[in-house]
Chains A and B, each alone.
Chain A
Amino acid sequence: MPWVTAIILLPLFGAFTMLAVPPGGVVQARVHAFLTAGGTLALLAILVGLFDRDAGGPQFEDRHGWVSQVGLEWTVNVDGVSIWLMLLTGAMFFLAIAYACFRTPDRARGFLGLLLLAEAGLLGLFAAGNLVLFYVFWEAMLIPFYFLIGMWGGSDRVRATTRFVIYTMVGSLLMLVAILATAFIARDITGQFTFDFEALRGIAFSREESIWLFAGFAIAFIIKLPLWPFHGWMPAAYRAAPILVTGLLAAVMSKAGVYGLIKIGVPLFPEGAEYFQYHIIVLALAGIAYGSVVAWRQPTIRMLVAYSSLAHLGFVALGIMAFDNEAGQGAVLQMINHGIVVAAAFTIVGIITERSGKEEIDEIGGLANGAPWLAGVFLIVAMASLAIPGSNAFVGEFFILTGVFRHHWWAAAIACIGIAYAAVYMLRLYQSAMNGPRKGADGARVEMRLRDTVVLLPLIAAMGVIALWPAAIVGGTTRTVERLMAPAQIAADRPADQIRAGVAPNPPAAALPLPGDPVEAPQEVPTQ
């Protein structure tokens, strides 16, 4: 069965059939969206069950011709990194749709349909097996988010969407140029015109080509991530979007940039990645520091969580750019952790702002008095967010810091300061909102109700499971991360005992020279 294709197409199908729901059919729309998202999640769960955790390469590949004249193919597959991100996407959108079903926004059909469209776009992005398909989904997911922010957003939404689109499109343009350039340069080297990730692995780009191509991709990824100082779109979009969409942007969409870095940037252009390693590490550290400091001074809960998310994503980028197997695995785990934690945090923010009508930290206080359950859940989430030992985020950050320390101890040291700052702003938020004298709304009004529990309970449960049994995810990523990191580790001249996967030279040494090519020895690519 074409599992991966089915998983991508099911929400897409659900989004289009949403048009068949009669206008005003809010109940049908809710049931429809709920069943579609649930079905997608169920298919994903089955796929995770069938997935071979000890294989490094792509699995469950579906390959069909599309526009074969220019080498376009529908190639979708999963590997040890993408499957977890797809699971995260499916779960987050399922919870988001459940959340939306309990608080139906106006024009529910459109809202739920666009959510499903966004889900299809993100699932496709994580499953894409070639560069063009990746680009297609990268762009396609922009549209539903554009409309979700623009039509259901708060004040200033038009400016926010414009900025969001401009930033993203600048990155996309560079990426598109880099994609075409990659394919044409690769054709000159291997004689094969292809966009396929696997076929492009191990191609001996010259150092200069590799640097330029990596830069083209990396800027798009860094904007999407976002890393300081390319985060200009983020505050406006996070502030203007409906809280549900803000949660999805932070929990899922930000992973697209990180995923691009680990799946395309580092393995396909190792020399470029090695050249820019320090640049990106510095940006990631700056992002951790900047996010933490700015979060500390934010006046609203929503923006505090938003900036804390910026800091956490800096950790993930740091883990990837260390070119270390453990740090890479930690980065993948931390992507999942961050998604879960930030989704829970935004859900709580949503509950508080919706019921109390206040967003400013100064105007909320002493909620724990009337809402002990909410305070308890909030405490768990806050602890997870600042990665206290025993929480799920601790495992991820520990992996990352161990790996980073091995090669760049100074980076790990600076990053640790970020953890300390996380304690400052998260505890400040917890204390002023939950403890202290009562201000603003009555705690009893914001207490968790059944519909909140339905969303928060699975998130808390997931945090607990990952904290107690991180190997469930980490074990499944080992081979893939080793495989993705190996080219960059070779380029960075790491000792051989740290490199655990080989890279076959491309084109293979045995390949015949092309007709018309001057006969020359293929460039040697050191292999393990």
Chain B
Amino acid sequence: MKVVPALPPLIVAAGACLVLLLGLVSNRRIKRDGPLWLGSATIIGAAVMSLVLWGDRQEALGGGYRADRFSMLLNLVFLACAFAVLLLSTREPAGVDRRGEYACLLLTATAGMMLVAGAGDLIVMFLGIEILSVALYVLCALEVWRERSLEAGLKYLIVGAVGSSIFLYGLAFLFGATGSVQLSVIGEQLAVASFTEEPLLLVAIALVASGLAFKASAAPFHMWTPDVYQGAPTPITAFMATATKVAALAAFLRIFGSALTDLVDTWQIAIAVIAAASIVIGNVAALAQRDLKRLLAYSSIAQAGYLLTGVAAGTIKGAEAVLYYLIAYAAMTLAAFAIVIIREREVEDGDRLEALAGYGRARPVLGVVATVAMLSLAGFPPLSGFIGKFLLFGAAVEQDLTWLAVIGAVGSMVSLGYYLRVLRVMWFGEPEGGTPRKMLTIPAPGPARSRWSASASARPCWWTSAATRPPPCSPPDPRSAGVGRAPPWGGGTRRPGGRSVGP
């Protein structure tokens, strides 16, 4: 059994295990910085391996994993997203006390995505989707002291489980109809025998499309998205909005674009309707949002709709357009979330739209980055979002899906409404100071370690440092007294013995 072509996900999985172990080392420096370094090394190793394997298709694990240009390209996208998120979350409260677990879960999710993109049979694909989902359930709920985060984790768990089971059910029907789990064999089966209007297959298509639409947060399976995106720690939201969506679209392309390609007439309209609904619902709902994370969540629903337009075309051109747009989408969404993350470090409630008022003048470079990201998301020429949409809609028009392209074009115009609102607040608004972010203090390991290590994660303390105000839930730790007010530009102070996460 060949293993080498499956090395990229295996490297990432092995790295995840090692990073988890690093969290147990008692050396504080290793515990603090180790996961970042080892995680980065793992990602770079896997990326190099993906580049080495770039070329014609090679199969591994008995045909369960395919290393081809498609999966290697997507591997690079996943790894880039994971790397960006790893860097963005270095100072995040979610990751601070549990760097090892945090990086481990991130890498595990990445490995799952790589399995999805390279899946050669249905079982590996389902495994990949479950691996990434389970890791993300935990990541969403990682900021245990915030109710929102716990809520997000629970919601995502329930909805995700429903989505997974629907997907699995669909895969079972697909297996029942064709007698194989191998994607290539399924494709051959469908090519030779006439399966049109076969009820078993229709059910399978409907269930698989619904299950994947859950994962891609496409309407009408999008209900969980805004709440989960808002509640989850922002770097995790960024990861979900980019890498998870890429993985779901990869699964769409693997199943519909290659295995079921002969039934395109059967499923085209279903995917097209999902795409149209996502574009309409995402764009219209985003207009009313005042919270940046929710706004980006609805925008990501709409973007899923644009991406599914390319899937619905069912042609090579459509798939190419989807791949191009996925890369562009990942880049611009990460940039948009990075702005939110940076602002959240500086002020309380940094994800409100008003928190960005006048931010462009205060931080011109970040302002320009946000401007380019928003305009590109809106599909403004000559940015990559425009070229991607042009390719997607062109592919759709070629397959006589002109109505879908028109909905997409109208949707892009509507989306300008909220993307430009962000820019308007950012550039034309009068800056408001905002409440500087309070510091999170997690008590130091010491004599009381056994007591605190359990409760520190469950009940850490938000420490308003104004000495006049008594700490709301202070551990009676004398070393914590006298922490200066966190400067609004960030940079938490570090004290001997205690670790405080600066804004």
Contact = CB atoms under 8 A, between A and B. Distances in A.
A380 interface: no
B427 A150 contact: yes
B382 interface: yes
Interface stretch (A30-38, A132-140, A197-205, A498-506): A132-140
Contacts of A67: 387, 390-391
Given A70-B391, A158-B428, A173-B409, A140 B420 contact: no
Contacts of B394: 70, 180
A151 B386 contact: no
Contact of B416 (A72, A135, A136, A169): A169
Interface in B125-150: none
Interface string A161-195: 11001000110110011001000100000000000
A110 B364 contact: yes
Contacts of A184: 397-398
Contacts of B364: 23, 110
Contacts of B397: 180, 184
Contact of B381 (A23, A69, A136, A169): A136
A170 B413 contact: yes
Interface string B302-318: 00000000000000010
A445 interface: no
Contacts of A110: 364
Nearest to A70: B394
A110 B380 CA distance: 20
Interface string B452-474: 00000000000000000000000
B412 to A, nearest CB: 8
A177 B406 CA distance: 7
Nearest to A106: B361
B428 A151 contact: yes
A139 B405 CA distance: 19
Given A150-B427, A177-B409, A165 B381 contact: no
Interface string A125-148: 000000010011101100100110
Interface string A188-225: 00000000000000000000000000000000000000
B247 to A, nearest CB: 25
A136 B382 contact: yes
B429 to A, nearest CB: 9
A49 to B, nearest CB: 30
A509 interface: no
A194 to B, nearest CB: 13
A interface secondary structure, majority:
helix
Nearest to B382: A136
A157 B427 CA distance: 12
Contacts of B380: 139-140, 143
Given A67-B387, A147-B427, A140 B406 contact: no
A19 interface: yes
Contacts of B410: 173
B156 interface: no
Contacts of A170: 413
Interface residues of A, number: 32
Nearest to B427: A151
A146 B426 CA distance: 13
A355 interface: no
B499 interface: no
Contacts of B405: 180
B320 interface: yes
Nearest to A138: B381
A246 to B, nearest CB: 18
Nearest to A157: B428
A72 B427 contact: no
A165 B375 CA distance: 13
A169 B382 contact: no
B413 A150 contact: no
A459 B57 CA distance: 66
Contacts of A173: 409-410, 413
Interface in B383-436: 386-387, 390-391, 393-394, 397-398, 405-406, 409-410, 413, 416, 420, 424, 427-428
A172 B416 CA distance: 12
Nearest to A172: B413
A110 B409 CA distance: 31
B393 A140 contact: no
Interface string A148-162: 001100000110011
Contact of A140 (B361, B381, B413): B381
Given A139-B381, A173-B413, A70 B427 contact: no
B391 A69 contact: yes
Contacts of B386: 136, 139
A147 B428 CA distance: 8
B406 A19 contact: no
B375 A169 contact: no
* Most chain A beta carbons < 10 A, residue from B317, B375, B381, B393: B381
B61 interface: no
B283 to A, nearest CB: 13
Nearest to B391: A70
In the A-B complex, list the 7 residue pairs whose CB atoms are closest, starting with the nearest: A136-B381, A150-B428, A139-B381, A136-B382, A70-B394, A173-B413, A169-B413
Given A139-B381, A162-B420, A184-B398, 4 more contacts: A67-B390, A70-B391, A70-B394, A150-B427
15 contacts: A19-B368, A67-B387, A69-B317, A70-B394, A136-B386, A139-B380, A140-B381, A147-B427, A158-B428, A161-B428, A165-B420, A173-B410, A176-B409, A180-B394, A180-B405
Interface of B: 317, 320, 361, 364, 368, 375, 380-382, 386-387, 390-391, 393-394, 397-398, 405-406, 409-410, 413, 416, 420, 424, 427-428
Interface of A: 19, 23, 67, 69-70, 72, 107, 110, 132, 135-137, 139-140, 143, 146-147, 150-151, 157-158, 161-162, 165, 169-170, 172-173, 176-177, 180, 184
